[in-house]
Structure 1
Protein backbone atom coordinates (compact mmCIF):
# COMPACT_ATOMS: atom_id res chain seq x y z
CA UNK A 1 0.00 0.00 0.00
CA UNK A 2 1.03 3.61 -0.49
CA UNK A 3 2.27 5.45 2.60
CA UNK A 4 1.21 9.11 2.59
CA UNK A 5 3.28 12.08 3.71
CA UNK A 6 0.63 12.81 6.35
CA UNK A 7 1.09 9.35 7.89
CA UNK A 8 4.86 9.78 7.98
CA UNK A 9 4.47 13.23 9.53
CA UNK A 10 2.17 11.92 12.27
CA UNK A 11 4.52 9.06 13.10
CA UNK A 12 7.48 11.45 13.23
CA UNK A 13 5.56 13.64 15.69
CA UNK A 14 4.72 10.62 17.82
CA UNK A 15 8.23 9.14 17.89
CA UNK A 16 10.67 11.91 16.96
CA UNK A 17 12.44 9.49 14.60
CA UNK A 18 13.72 10.24 11.10
CA UNK A 19 11.51 10.38 8.00
CA UNK A 20 12.96 7.27 6.32
CA UNK A 21 12.78 5.25 9.52
CA UNK A 22 9.12 6.24 9.95
CA UNK A 23 8.26 5.39 6.36
CA UNK A 24 9.95 2.01 6.69
CA UNK A 25 8.05 1.21 9.89
CA UNK A 26 4.72 2.17 8.30
CA UNK A 27 5.47 0.08 5.22
CA UNK A 28 6.32 -2.95 7.35
CA UNK A 29 3.09 -2.60 9.36
CA UNK A 30 0.83 -1.96 6.37
CA UNK A 31 0.17 1.65 7.36
CA UNK A 32 -1.00 0.75 10.89
CA UNK A 33 0.14 3.75 12.93
CA UNK A 34 -0.15 2.13 16.38
CA UNK A 35 1.70 -0.99 15.23
CA UNK A 36 4.42 1.22 13.73
CA UNK A 37 4.78 3.14 17.02
CA UNK A 38 5.09 -0.14 18.94
CA UNK A 39 7.64 -1.51 16.47
CA UNK A 40 9.73 1.65 16.69
CA UNK A 41 9.60 1.61 20.49
CA UNK A 42 10.90 -1.96 20.38
CA UNK A 43 13.59 -0.83 17.95
CA UNK A 44 14.45 1.99 20.32
CA UNK A 45 14.86 -0.50 23.14
CA UNK A 46 17.25 -2.53 21.00
CA UNK A 47 19.30 0.56 20.21
CA UNK A 48 19.33 1.53 23.87
CA UNK A 49 20.63 -1.92 24.84
CA UNK A 50 23.48 -1.63 22.33
CA UNK A 51 24.49 1.79 23.64
CA UNK A 52 24.10 1.02 27.36
CA UNK A 53 27.77 0.08 27.77
CA UNK A 54 29.13 3.28 26.24
CA UNK A 55 30.59 5.91 28.57
CA UNK A 56 28.24 8.83 29.17
CA UNK A 57 30.25 11.52 30.98
CA UNK A 58 28.83 14.67 29.38
CA UNK A 59 25.35 16.14 29.85
CA UNK A 60 23.83 18.65 32.22
CA UNK A 61 22.66 19.33 35.76
CA UNK A 62 19.16 20.62 36.45
CA UNK A 63 17.83 22.50 39.49
CA UNK A 64 14.10 22.77 40.20
CA UNK A 65 12.55 24.29 43.32
CA UNK A 66 9.18 24.87 44.88
CA UNK A 67 8.69 26.71 48.15
CA UNK A 68 11.44 25.67 50.56
CA UNK A 69 12.35 22.47 48.70
CA UNK A 70 14.69 21.94 45.74
CA UNK A 71 16.12 19.05 43.74
CA UNK A 72 19.42 18.70 41.90
CA UNK A 73 19.64 16.14 39.08
CA UNK A 74 22.47 14.97 36.79
CA UNK A 75 21.61 13.51 33.38
CA UNK A 76 24.46 12.19 31.21
CA UNK A 77 25.07 11.65 27.52
CA UNK A 78 28.21 11.00 25.47
CA UNK A 79 28.91 14.37 23.81
CA UNK A 80 28.46 18.11 24.36
CA UNK A 81 26.50 18.20 21.11
CA UNK A 82 23.73 15.99 22.46
CA UNK A 83 23.96 17.74 25.82
CA UNK A 84 22.71 20.88 24.05
CA UNK A 85 20.07 19.06 21.98
CA UNK A 86 16.52 20.31 22.58
CA UNK A 87 15.17 16.77 23.06
CA UNK A 88 17.84 15.97 25.65
CA UNK A 89 17.23 19.27 27.45
CA UNK A 90 13.48 18.70 27.55
CA UNK A 91 13.95 15.17 28.94
CA UNK A 92 16.38 16.49 31.58
CA UNK A 93 14.01 19.23 32.69
CA UNK A 94 11.16 16.72 32.95
CA UNK A 95 13.27 14.33 35.05
CA UNK A 96 14.10 17.17 37.46
CA UNK A 97 10.47 18.23 37.77
CA UNK A 98 9.32 14.67 38.49
CA UNK A 99 12.19 14.15 40.94
CA UNK A 100 10.94 17.16 42.90
CA UNK A 101 7.24 16.31 42.87
CA UNK A 102 7.38 12.52 43.23
CA UNK A 103 8.24 10.41 46.24
CA UNK A 104 10.94 8.46 44.36
CA UNK A 105 13.81 7.58 46.66
CA UNK A 106 16.36 6.57 44.04
CA UNK A 107 17.02 6.68 40.30
CA UNK A 108 15.30 3.33 39.71
CA UNK A 109 12.16 4.61 41.41
CA UNK A 110 12.34 7.87 39.49
CA UNK A 111 12.57 6.09 36.13
CA UNK A 112 9.45 4.09 36.99
CA UNK A 113 7.40 7.30 37.36
CA UNK A 114 4.80 7.79 34.63
CA UNK A 115 4.23 10.92 32.54
CA UNK A 116 1.59 11.05 29.79
CA UNK A 117 1.17 7.29 29.85
CA UNK A 118 4.88 6.48 29.61
CA UNK A 119 7.50 5.84 32.26
CA UNK A 120 10.60 8.01 32.29
CA UNK A 121 12.56 4.85 31.47
CA UNK A 122 10.52 4.37 28.29
CA UNK A 123 11.10 8.00 27.39
CA UNK A 124 14.82 7.55 28.00
CA UNK A 125 15.09 4.61 25.63
CA UNK A 126 13.18 6.52 22.95
CA UNK A 127 15.54 9.46 23.43
CA UNK A 128 18.51 7.14 22.91
CA UNK A 129 17.01 6.03 19.59
CA UNK A 130 16.44 9.65 18.64
CA UNK A 131 19.85 11.16 19.54
CA UNK A 132 21.98 8.08 18.87
CA UNK A 133 23.86 8.18 22.17
CA UNK A 134 23.75 6.50 25.56
CA UNK A 135 21.65 8.58 27.97
CA UNK A 136 21.67 7.97 31.71
CA UNK A 137 19.92 9.63 34.65
CA UNK A 138 22.82 9.33 37.05
CA UNK A 139 21.69 10.79 40.38
CA UNK A 140 19.45 13.23 42.19
CA UNK A 141 19.12 14.69 45.67
CA UNK A 142 16.57 16.88 47.39
CA UNK A 143 17.24 19.64 49.91
CA UNK A 144 14.80 21.45 52.18
CA UNK A 145 15.55 24.76 53.91
CA UNK A 146 14.41 26.11 57.24
CA UNK A 147 14.58 29.72 56.09
CA UNK A 148 16.34 30.34 52.76
CA UNK A 149 17.35 28.34 49.69
CA UNK A 150 20.11 29.46 47.36
CA UNK A 151 20.98 28.20 43.85
CA UNK A 152 23.84 28.63 41.48
CA UNK A 153 24.50 27.07 38.08
CA UNK A 154 27.74 27.52 36.19
CA UNK A 155 26.49 26.92 32.67
CA UNK A 156 24.94 23.47 32.59
CA UNK A 157 27.91 21.60 34.09
CA UNK A 158 27.95 22.65 37.76
CA UNK A 159 24.91 23.02 39.99
CA UNK A 160 24.68 23.95 43.66
CA UNK A 161 21.79 24.15 46.12
CA UNK A 162 22.33 25.46 49.65
CA UNK A 163 19.95 25.76 52.61
CA UNK A 164 20.24 28.32 55.38
CA UNK A 165 18.86 28.84 58.86
CA UNK A 166 18.54 32.60 59.11
CA UNK A 167 19.84 34.87 56.37
CA UNK A 168 18.04 35.45 53.07
CA UNK A 169 18.04 34.33 49.43
CA UNK A 170 20.78 36.79 48.43
CA UNK A 171 23.14 35.39 51.06
CA UNK A 172 22.19 31.82 50.14
CA UNK A 173 22.99 32.54 46.48
CA UNK A 174 26.39 34.02 47.41
CA UNK A 175 27.21 30.91 49.45
CA UNK A 176 26.05 28.67 46.58
CA UNK A 177 28.36 30.52 44.20
CA UNK A 178 31.23 30.03 46.65
CA UNK A 179 30.51 26.29 46.88
CA UNK A 180 30.53 26.00 43.09
CA UNK A 181 33.98 27.60 42.92
CA UNK A 182 35.66 26.17 46.02
CA UNK A 183 34.28 22.59 46.18
CA UNK A 184 34.07 22.10 49.96
CA UNK A 185 33.68 18.51 51.14
CA UNK A 186 31.22 19.36 53.92
CA UNK A 187 29.84 22.25 55.97
CA UNK A 188 32.16 21.95 58.99
CA UNK A 189 34.53 19.59 60.82
CA UNK A 190 31.68 17.43 62.12
CA UNK A 191 30.92 16.33 58.56
CA UNK A 192 34.43 15.23 57.61
CA UNK A 193 34.53 11.42 57.19
CA UNK A 194 36.78 9.88 59.85
CA UNK A 195 38.55 7.65 57.31
CA UNK A 196 39.48 10.73 55.28
CA UNK A 197 40.84 12.47 58.36
CA UNK A 198 42.81 9.36 59.41
CA UNK A 199 44.31 9.05 55.93
CA UNK A 200 45.47 12.66 55.89
CA UNK A 201 46.82 12.42 59.44
CA UNK A 202 48.92 9.37 58.46
CA UNK A 203 50.34 11.25 55.45
CA UNK A 204 51.15 14.34 57.54
CA UNK A 205 52.80 12.17 60.21
CA UNK A 206 55.03 10.42 57.66
CA UNK A 207 56.05 13.79 56.23
CA UNK A 208 56.72 15.29 59.66
CA UNK A 209 58.80 12.33 60.85
CA UNK A 210 61.23 12.90 57.99
CA UNK A 211 62.18 16.21 59.61
CA UNK A 212 63.94 14.37 62.44
CA UNK A 213 62.36 16.65 65.06
CA UNK A 214 61.34 15.44 68.57
CA UNK A 215 58.00 13.62 68.96
CA UNK A 216 56.29 16.51 70.77
CA UNK A 217 57.22 18.90 67.95
CA UNK A 218 56.05 16.40 65.35
CA UNK A 219 52.64 16.19 67.06
CA UNK A 220 52.32 19.97 66.94
CA UNK A 221 53.27 19.96 63.28
CA UNK A 222 50.64 17.32 62.53
CA UNK A 223 47.92 19.23 64.40
CA UNK A 224 48.82 22.42 62.59
CA UNK A 225 48.57 20.72 59.21
CA UNK A 226 45.27 19.09 60.16
CA UNK A 227 43.83 22.50 61.09
CA UNK A 228 44.97 23.89 57.75
CA UNK A 229 43.54 20.90 55.91
CA UNK A 230 40.15 21.25 57.62
CA UNK A 231 40.05 24.95 56.74
CA UNK A 232 40.62 24.01 53.10
CA UNK A 233 37.92 21.34 52.80
CA UNK A 234 35.15 22.66 55.08
CA UNK A 235 32.78 25.33 53.82
CA UNK A 236 32.95 27.47 56.94
CA UNK A 237 36.76 27.36 57.03
CA UNK A 238 37.32 28.56 53.46
CA UNK A 239 38.02 32.18 52.50
CA UNK A 240 34.85 33.59 50.93
CA UNK A 241 35.37 33.88 47.16
CA UNK A 242 33.87 37.36 46.88
CA UNK A 243 35.89 38.65 49.84
CA UNK A 244 38.91 36.46 50.69
CA UNK A 245 39.69 38.61 53.75
CA UNK A 246 36.90 36.85 55.62
CA UNK A 247 35.97 33.20 55.92
CA UNK A 248 32.54 31.86 55.07
CA UNK A 249 32.00 31.34 58.81
CA UNK A 250 32.65 35.04 59.43
CA UNK A 251 30.29 35.99 56.60
CA UNK A 252 27.52 33.82 58.04
CA UNK A 253 28.07 35.06 61.62
CA UNK A 254 27.79 38.68 60.46
CA UNK A 255 24.42 37.86 58.89
CA UNK A 256 23.15 35.77 61.80
CA UNK A 257 22.89 32.69 59.59
CA UNK A 258 24.16 29.12 59.37
CA UNK A 259 24.30 26.54 56.59
CA UNK A 260 22.15 23.49 57.28
CA UNK A 261 23.14 21.62 54.12
CA UNK A 262 24.28 21.85 50.52
CA UNK A 263 24.39 19.83 47.30
CA UNK A 264 27.03 20.25 44.60
CA UNK A 265 27.05 18.30 41.32
CA UNK A 266 29.56 18.57 38.52
CA UNK A 267 28.79 16.77 35.28
CA UNK A 268 30.83 13.61 34.85
CA UNK A 269 32.75 13.84 38.13
CA UNK A 270 34.02 10.41 39.12
CA UNK A 271 33.26 8.84 35.74
CA UNK A 272 36.31 7.39 34.03
CA UNK A 273 36.36 8.64 30.47
CA UNK A 274 37.77 6.57 27.66
CA UNK A 275 41.05 8.00 26.39
CA UNK A 276 41.44 7.85 22.67
CA UNK A 277 44.90 7.43 21.14
CA UNK A 278 44.31 8.07 17.47
CA UNK A 279 47.97 7.56 16.53
CA UNK A 280 47.91 4.02 17.95
CA UNK A 281 44.54 3.39 16.29
CA UNK A 282 45.93 4.37 12.87
CA UNK A 283 49.03 2.23 13.41
CA UNK A 284 46.89 -0.76 14.37
CA UNK A 285 44.78 -0.34 11.23
CA UNK A 286 47.93 -0.01 9.12
CA UNK A 287 49.38 -3.21 10.56
CA UNK A 288 46.08 -4.99 9.93
CA UNK A 289 46.11 -3.85 6.32
Structure 2
Protein backbone atom coordinates (compact mmCIF):
# COMPACT_ATOMS: atom_id res chain seq x y z
CA UNK A 1 0.00 0.00 0.00
CA UNK A 2 1.21 3.47 -0.87
CA UNK A 3 0.98 6.01 1.96
CA UNK A 4 0.25 9.65 1.08
CA UNK A 5 1.64 12.10 3.65
CA UNK A 6 0.99 15.86 3.65
CA UNK A 7 1.78 18.85 5.84
CA UNK A 8 -1.20 21.18 6.45
CA UNK A 9 -1.30 24.92 7.11
CA UNK A 10 -4.38 24.73 9.35
CA UNK A 11 -6.87 22.41 11.00
CA UNK A 12 -9.33 23.16 8.22
CA UNK A 13 -6.83 22.27 5.52
CA UNK A 14 -5.92 19.07 7.35
CA UNK A 15 -9.57 18.02 7.17
CA UNK A 16 -9.73 18.83 3.46
CA UNK A 17 -6.49 16.94 2.78
CA UNK A 18 -7.80 13.82 4.49
CA UNK A 19 -11.01 14.06 2.48
CA UNK A 20 -8.84 14.31 -0.65
CA UNK A 21 -7.18 10.98 0.14
CA UNK A 22 -4.22 11.85 2.35
CA UNK A 23 -3.50 8.99 4.76
CA UNK A 24 -1.10 10.70 7.15
CA UNK A 25 -0.90 14.27 8.39
CA UNK A 26 2.60 15.62 9.07
CA UNK A 27 2.72 18.50 11.54
CA UNK A 28 4.46 19.89 14.59
CA UNK A 29 5.78 22.96 16.36
CA UNK A 30 8.61 25.16 15.04
CA UNK A 31 10.52 24.80 18.32
CA UNK A 32 10.96 21.08 17.65
CA UNK A 33 10.35 20.62 13.90
CA UNK A 34 11.75 22.08 10.70
CA UNK A 35 10.06 23.99 7.87
CA UNK A 36 6.43 23.48 8.79
CA UNK A 37 3.55 25.29 7.01
CA UNK A 38 2.07 26.04 10.43
CA UNK A 39 3.44 25.79 13.95
CA UNK A 40 0.92 23.77 15.95
CA UNK A 41 1.52 24.51 19.61
CA UNK A 42 0.43 21.91 22.13
CA UNK A 43 -3.25 22.76 22.55
CA UNK A 44 -3.80 23.09 18.81
CA UNK A 45 -1.69 20.00 18.12
CA UNK A 46 -3.84 18.01 20.55
CA UNK A 47 -6.90 19.15 18.62
CA UNK A 48 -5.25 18.12 15.34
CA UNK A 49 -4.30 14.69 16.70
CA UNK A 50 -7.86 14.06 17.85
CA UNK A 51 -9.21 15.24 14.50
CA UNK A 52 -6.89 12.97 12.51
CA UNK A 53 -7.61 9.91 14.63
CA UNK A 54 -11.35 10.56 14.45
CA UNK A 55 -11.00 10.11 10.67
CA UNK A 56 -9.06 6.84 11.16
CA UNK A 57 -5.98 8.50 9.70
CA UNK A 58 -2.43 8.76 11.05
CA UNK A 59 -0.39 11.69 12.32
CA UNK A 60 3.37 12.15 12.23
CA UNK A 61 4.96 14.88 14.35
CA UNK A 62 8.23 16.52 13.35
CA UNK A 63 10.91 16.49 16.04
CA UNK A 64 13.68 16.89 13.47
CA UNK A 65 15.21 20.20 14.53
CA UNK A 66 18.92 20.52 15.27
CA UNK A 67 19.02 20.96 19.04
CA UNK A 68 21.59 22.93 20.98
CA UNK A 69 21.98 22.48 24.73
CA UNK A 70 19.43 25.16 25.59
CA UNK A 71 16.68 23.40 23.64
CA UNK A 72 17.42 19.69 23.84
CA UNK A 73 16.59 19.78 27.56
CA UNK A 74 12.95 20.29 26.52
CA UNK A 75 12.81 17.34 24.11
CA UNK A 76 12.01 14.63 26.66
CA UNK A 77 8.92 16.43 27.93
CA UNK A 78 7.73 17.02 24.37
CA UNK A 79 8.22 13.37 23.37
CA UNK A 80 6.37 12.25 26.49
CA UNK A 81 3.55 14.62 25.57
CA UNK A 82 3.38 13.14 22.06
CA UNK A 83 3.37 9.59 23.43
CA UNK A 84 0.54 10.48 25.81
CA UNK A 85 -1.39 11.92 22.86
CA UNK A 86 -0.75 8.64 20.97
CA UNK A 87 0.77 10.11 17.81
CA UNK A 88 1.56 7.41 15.29
CA UNK A 89 5.22 8.29 14.77
CA UNK A 90 7.77 11.08 14.95
CA UNK A 91 10.61 12.10 12.68
CA UNK A 92 13.96 12.74 14.38
CA UNK A 93 17.34 13.75 12.96
CA UNK A 94 19.36 14.63 16.06
CA UNK A 95 21.05 11.54 17.61
CA UNK A 96 20.77 13.25 20.99
CA UNK A 97 16.98 13.32 20.64
CA UNK A 98 16.99 9.65 19.61
CA UNK A 99 19.03 8.86 22.71
CA UNK A 100 16.45 10.65 24.88
CA UNK A 101 13.63 8.69 23.22
CA UNK A 102 15.29 5.34 23.79
CA UNK A 103 16.94 5.92 27.17
CA UNK A 104 13.61 6.94 28.65
CA UNK A 105 11.73 4.16 26.84
CA UNK A 106 9.18 6.59 25.44
CA UNK A 107 6.56 4.65 23.49
CA UNK A 108 6.93 6.28 20.08
CA UNK A 109 7.90 4.89 16.71
CA UNK A 110 10.42 7.11 14.95
CA UNK A 111 11.67 7.64 11.42
CA UNK A 112 15.17 9.00 10.91
CA UNK A 113 15.20 12.41 9.21
CA UNK A 114 18.43 14.36 8.94
CA UNK A 115 17.49 16.02 5.64
CA UNK A 116 20.32 16.05 3.09
CA UNK A 117 22.46 13.52 4.97
CA UNK A 118 20.33 10.46 4.15
CA UNK A 119 21.69 9.46 0.76
CA UNK A 120 22.47 5.73 0.87
CA UNK A 121 21.01 2.41 1.97
CA UNK A 122 23.76 1.76 4.52
CA UNK A 123 22.77 4.86 6.46
CA UNK A 124 19.09 3.94 6.43
CA UNK A 125 19.95 0.41 7.55
CA UNK A 126 22.25 1.71 10.29
CA UNK A 127 19.47 3.76 11.84
CA UNK A 128 17.05 0.87 11.37
CA UNK A 129 19.41 -1.22 13.52
CA UNK A 130 19.15 1.58 16.08
CA UNK A 131 15.37 1.51 16.24
CA UNK A 132 14.20 3.62 13.30
CA UNK A 133 11.13 2.22 11.58
CA UNK A 134 12.01 4.12 8.39
CA UNK A 135 13.89 7.11 7.04
CA UNK A 136 13.32 10.27 5.03
CA UNK A 137 15.55 10.19 1.95
CA UNK A 138 17.39 13.33 0.84
CA UNK A 139 15.89 15.34 -2.01
CA UNK A 140 19.24 15.27 -3.83
CA UNK A 141 19.18 11.53 -4.56
CA UNK A 142 18.39 11.07 -8.29
CA UNK A 143 16.47 8.22 -9.87
CA UNK A 144 19.56 6.29 -10.99
CA UNK A 145 20.84 6.20 -7.41
CA UNK A 146 17.40 5.33 -6.04
CA UNK A 147 17.41 2.29 -8.35
CA UNK A 148 20.56 1.06 -6.59
CA UNK A 149 19.47 2.17 -3.13
CA UNK A 150 15.95 0.75 -2.81
CA UNK A 151 16.74 -2.98 -3.30
CA UNK A 152 19.26 -2.81 -0.43
CA UNK A 153 16.95 -1.21 2.12
CA UNK A 154 15.92 -2.96 5.31
CA UNK A 155 13.41 -0.25 6.19
CA UNK A 156 11.03 1.91 4.12
CA UNK A 157 11.87 5.43 2.98
CA UNK A 158 9.80 8.57 2.48
CA UNK A 159 10.33 10.63 -0.69
CA UNK A 160 9.30 14.19 -1.45
CA UNK A 161 7.01 13.97 -4.49
CA UNK A 162 5.64 17.51 -4.32
CA UNK A 163 6.62 20.77 -2.67
CA UNK A 164 9.44 23.07 -1.68
CA UNK A 165 12.90 21.49 -1.51
CA UNK A 166 15.26 22.93 1.11
CA UNK A 167 18.83 23.23 -0.17
CA UNK A 168 20.48 24.94 2.80
CA UNK A 169 19.92 25.60 6.49
CA UNK A 170 22.06 27.69 8.76
CA UNK A 171 21.47 27.90 12.46
CA UNK A 172 22.48 31.54 12.30
CA UNK A 173 19.99 34.40 11.73
CA UNK A 174 21.46 35.31 8.35
CA UNK A 175 18.62 37.62 7.33
CA UNK A 176 18.78 39.55 10.58
CA UNK A 177 22.53 39.84 10.23
CA UNK A 178 22.20 41.01 6.64
CA UNK A 179 19.59 43.66 7.32
CA UNK A 180 21.50 44.86 10.36
CA UNK A 181 24.59 45.15 8.18
CA UNK A 182 22.89 47.27 5.55
CA UNK A 183 20.96 49.14 8.27
CA UNK A 184 17.68 48.50 6.46
CA UNK A 185 14.46 48.34 8.39
CA UNK A 186 12.61 45.08 8.01
CA UNK A 187 9.69 44.27 10.25
CA UNK A 188 9.26 40.72 9.03
CA UNK A 189 11.78 38.06 8.04
CA UNK A 190 9.59 34.97 8.13
CA UNK A 191 8.11 32.96 5.28
CA UNK A 192 5.15 35.32 4.79
CA UNK A 193 7.54 38.09 3.67
CA UNK A 194 8.23 36.21 0.43
CA UNK A 195 11.95 36.99 0.39
CA UNK A 196 14.34 35.40 -2.10
CA UNK A 197 18.00 35.56 -3.07
CA UNK A 198 19.72 35.27 -6.46
CA UNK A 199 23.14 34.10 -7.52
CA UNK A 200 25.60 36.73 -8.76
CA UNK A 201 25.25 37.24 -12.52
CA UNK A 202 22.30 34.83 -12.57
CA UNK A 203 19.21 37.07 -12.32
CA UNK A 204 16.96 34.15 -13.24
CA UNK A 205 17.81 32.34 -9.99
CA UNK A 206 15.15 32.79 -7.31
CA UNK A 207 15.91 30.97 -4.06
CA UNK A 208 13.15 31.42 -1.47
CA UNK A 209 14.55 32.25 1.96
CA UNK A 210 13.14 32.84 5.42
CA UNK A 211 14.21 32.87 9.05
CA UNK A 212 12.67 31.33 12.16
CA UNK A 213 13.70 29.92 15.53
CA UNK A 214 15.74 27.20 13.77
CA UNK A 215 17.80 29.68 11.76
CA UNK A 216 17.73 30.51 8.07
CA UNK A 217 16.26 28.25 5.39
CA UNK A 218 16.95 28.44 1.64
CA UNK A 219 14.97 26.58 -1.01
CA UNK A 220 15.55 25.47 -4.59
CA UNK A 221 14.46 27.72 -7.47
CA UNK A 222 11.47 25.51 -8.24
CA UNK A 223 9.23 23.25 -6.19
CA UNK A 224 9.50 19.51 -6.73
CA UNK A 225 6.76 17.90 -8.82
CA UNK A 226 7.27 14.20 -9.47
CA UNK A 227 3.85 13.57 -10.96
CA UNK A 228 5.39 13.13 -14.45
CA UNK A 229 7.70 10.47 -12.92
CA UNK A 230 5.37 9.04 -10.28
CA UNK A 231 5.02 5.75 -12.17
CA UNK A 232 8.78 5.27 -11.85
CA UNK A 233 8.63 6.13 -8.15
CA UNK A 234 5.89 3.56 -7.55
CA UNK A 235 7.67 0.88 -9.55
CA UNK A 236 10.96 1.22 -7.61
CA UNK A 237 8.98 0.73 -5.27
CA UNK A 238 8.84 3.70 -2.91
CA UNK A 239 5.56 3.56 -1.01
CA UNK A 240 5.68 6.66 1.18
CA UNK A 241 4.99 9.84 -0.80
CA UNK A 242 5.37 13.18 0.93
CA UNK A 243 3.56 16.34 -0.23
CA UNK A 244 4.98 19.47 1.40
CA UNK A 245 2.46 22.28 1.83
CA UNK A 246 5.02 24.90 2.93
CA UNK A 247 4.58 27.29 -0.02
CA UNK A 248 1.44 25.74 -1.48
CA UNK A 249 -1.83 27.53 -2.08
CA UNK A 250 -4.41 26.88 0.66
CA UNK A 251 -7.02 25.33 -1.64
CA UNK A 252 -4.77 24.40 -4.55
CA UNK A 253 -2.76 22.07 -2.32
CA UNK A 254 -5.87 20.03 -1.62
CA UNK A 255 -6.50 19.62 -5.35
CA UNK A 256 -2.88 18.59 -5.85
CA UNK A 257 -3.23 16.02 -3.06
CA UNK A 258 -6.30 14.61 -4.79
CA UNK A 259 -4.31 14.29 -8.03
CA UNK A 260 -1.65 12.20 -6.28
CA UNK A 261 -4.38 10.11 -4.66
CA UNK A 262 -5.79 9.44 -8.14
CA UNK A 263 -2.34 8.40 -9.37
CA UNK A 264 -1.87 6.14 -6.34
CA UNK A 265 -5.26 4.47 -6.85
CA UNK A 266 -4.66 3.92 -10.56
CA UNK A 267 -1.25 2.38 -9.88
CA UNK A 268 -2.59 0.01 -7.24
CA UNK A 269 -5.29 -1.06 -9.69
CA UNK A 270 -2.63 -1.68 -12.35
CA UNK A 271 -4.04 1.05 -14.58
CA UNK A 272 -1.63 4.00 -14.21
CA UNK A 273 -0.08 5.08 -17.50
CA UNK A 274 2.45 7.73 -18.49
CA UNK A 275 -0.32 9.56 -20.35
CA UNK A 276 -2.49 9.71 -17.22
CA UNK A 277 0.48 11.02 -15.22
CA UNK A 278 0.86 13.87 -17.70
CA UNK A 279 -2.86 14.65 -17.46
CA UNK A 280 -2.67 14.72 -13.68
CA UNK A 281 0.44 16.87 -13.88
CA UNK A 282 -1.55 19.52 -15.75
CA UNK A 283 -3.82 19.63 -12.71
CA UNK A 284 -0.83 19.99 -10.40
CA UNK A 285 0.59 22.87 -12.41
CA UNK A 286 -2.77 24.61 -12.66
CA UNK A 287 -2.94 24.70 -8.86
CA UNK A 288 0.64 25.78 -8.29
CA UNK A 289 1.13 29.29 -6.80
CA UNK A 290 1.74 31.81 -9.58
CA UNK A 291 5.15 32.87 -8.27
CA UNK A 292 6.52 29.33 -7.92
CA UNK A 293 7.44 27.09 -10.84
CA UNK A 294 7.87 23.32 -10.65
CA UNK A 295 10.29 20.76 -12.02
CA UNK A 296 11.43 17.24 -11.15
CA UNK A 297 14.23 18.43 -8.89
CA UNK A 298 17.21 16.06 -8.83
CA UNK A 299 15.16 13.07 -9.98
CA UNK A 300 16.23 13.16 -13.66
CA UNK A 301 19.80 14.40 -13.09
CA UNK A 302 22.77 12.18 -13.89
CA UNK A 303 24.40 11.30 -10.56
CA UNK A 304 27.74 12.46 -11.96
CA UNK A 305 26.26 15.93 -12.45
CA UNK A 306 25.03 16.35 -8.86
CA UNK A 307 27.27 18.96 -7.23
TM bucket by the smaller chain? under 0.3
Q: By percentage of residues, which structure has more helix?
A: 1
What TM-score does the superposition give when structure 1 sets the normalisation length?
0.27
Q: Which has the larger radius of gyration?
A: 1
TM-score, length-scaled by structure 2: 0.26
